[in-house]
Amino acid sequence: MKAIFFKFVLISCLLFSYFGFAQEKSQLQVLSAVVKDQKIKDAEVIFQKNGETSVSVKTNSNGQISIPKVFGGVDDASVTLIIKKSGYSTLVTKGPVNNLTYALSPVMEQLDGMRIVLSWGEQPLDVDSHLSYPGNHICYYHKTGAMANLDVDDTDSFGPETITIDKKQQGQKYIYAVHDYSDKDISGGSRLSNVSDARVYVYIGNSLIRSYNVPRNKKGNTWVVFMIDESGSFQDINKFYDANEWERVRSQLEVLRGKNNLTESYATSQSDIAQSNKKNQQGETAYHSKQLEQSVMYYKRAIELNPNNGQAYSNLGLSFQKLNNEAEAIWANRKAIDLANGPNTNTIQASSYYNIAKIYENKGQFKDALDNYKSALSKKQNAAYDKGIARMKLKLGM
């Protein structure tokens, strides 16, 4: 249980913040996602908005910047914010941007590592991250689990609150949720949905690969955000529940992990599908012209327009691989496997498993490589898959 005295101290600190930084409506702050209250100096903060010239500002020694007046509208959702710093993954998010804290994630080296960063607004005071996977539940009450831990627990507004997975275990299902601890005793409330402006950022390797904004007009103090299935593919959930303590959140997530019909269904319009296919084609053109970073932008936009565009995920994996962003390439290939359909399903899945296997082999993770070569062969016969299996068995002394 979180100490009442601790809460009192934090509320006192919040009052100071209220009359200081929080009242400065034209500022934002950049912190480390993994070291509590560590301010990031000299981060480049870029503001973009249609019809306006982009503006770049550097954070001061307190990790703060004054927002350029043209981008300072409190409710301006048309602003795109890009934050860059050497050694950290670039953060890209949409407005509004006033009176918020943003957290930068240090680049991750592990192929199967992942970092989940939660931030929110001034209210509610205390919002918690929860990660459930077999035999483990990571939150403020249990900060360390098998190959995962809570890096930062924030209890006085804004965040960040960060969970790092050192190595995601294949064949296991993970579910991530956000709990409004401040309103844990209120059932059917909507402060988490309508007041918190909660945002969740998921990082793999060098890249921000997923981001979520809390849905509006939902009732409940627990937002179940996403699931990572047994094969490592992301599935969006975006459902709300009530829980009056961390143990109740734990039991809810354990139940949900046993279900197979949790994912949020997308109603993608034919117009968006057509635009997605067009962006995918533009990405392919950029890829063949060796404009790899440009191709990644096109493929990501294709996926935003149509989250079920498996070909865009497959292409994205190739671009990431060429850019030596191996962890991101594995993630994209796994999603391509998950989305593959139609007469070419086995070919797409086999080639994606093969791409993953090559990455593991090049990194010396021979058991993981062997498993993926075998998966490729199970989908389609190919001499390259047989040779890969033989190489890995030799390396493993089998």
Distance CA 213, CA 235 (A): 15
Peptide bond into 124 cis (omega under 30): yes
* Boundary (domain end) residue, out of 231, 257, 283: 257
Q: Over 90: is that where the pLDDT of 385 sits?
A: yes
Q: Answer yes or no: is 264 within a domain.
A: no
* Boundary (domain end) residue, out of 229, 257, 285: 257
Question: Do 321 and 196 have their domain in common?
Answer: no
The DSSP secondary-structure symbol of 69 reads G
Question: Do 177 and 85 have their domain in common?
Answer: yes
Pair of tokens at residue 383: 């001499």
Q: How many structural domains comprise the chain? A: 2
pLDDT at 202: 95
Question: Do 132 and 220 have their domain in common?
Answer: yes
Distance CA 366, CA 34 (A): 30
Structure pTM? Answer: 0.85
pLDDT at 367: 96
Q: How far is CA 299 from CA 159, 202, 307, 310, 354, in A?
A: 31, 18, 11, 11, 21
Question: Do 230 and 292 have their domain in common?
Answer: no
Q: List the CATH number of the domain containing 345.
A: 1.25.40.10
pLDDT at 305: 92
CB 126 within 8 A of CB 156: yes
Question: Do 8 and 144 have their domain in common?
Answer: yes
Question: Do 225 and 177 have their domain in common?
Answer: yes
308-361: pLDDT as tens digits: 899 999 999 999 999 999 999 999 999 999 999 889 899 999 999 999 999 999
* Boundary (domain end) residue, out of 215, 233, 257: 257
Q: Answer yes or no: is 263 within a domain.
A: no
Pair of tokens at residue 160: 């960040």
Q: Answer yes or no: is 364 within a domain.
A: yes
Task: Residue 359: give the domain boundaries.
Answer: 270-395
Distance CA 57, CA 159 (A): 22
Question: Do 103 and 215 have their domain in common?
Answer: yes
Question: Do 120 and 198 have their domain in common?
Answer: yes
Question: Do 196 and 324 have their domain in common?
Answer: no
Question: Do 119 and 239 have their domain in common?
Answer: yes
Q: Answer yes or no: is 262 within a domain.
A: no
The DSSP secondary-structure symbol of 39 reads B
87-106: pLDDT as tens digits: 999 998 887 777 788 999 99
Question: Do 380 and 309 have their domain in common?
Answer: yes
pLDDT at 264: 65
CB 102 within 8 A of CB 31: yes
176, 70, 89: which is closest to 131 by C-alpha? 176
Question: Do 243 and 323 have their domain in common?
Answer: no
pLDDT at 260: 78
pLDDT at 12: 40
Q: Mean pLDDT for the chain?
A: 89
- What mean pLDDT is predicted for residues 58-70? 89
Pair of tokens at residue 77: 């959702």
Q: Answer yes or no: is 160 within a domain.
A: yes
Q: How far is CA 53 from CA 44, 48, 68, in A?
A: 16, 7, 11
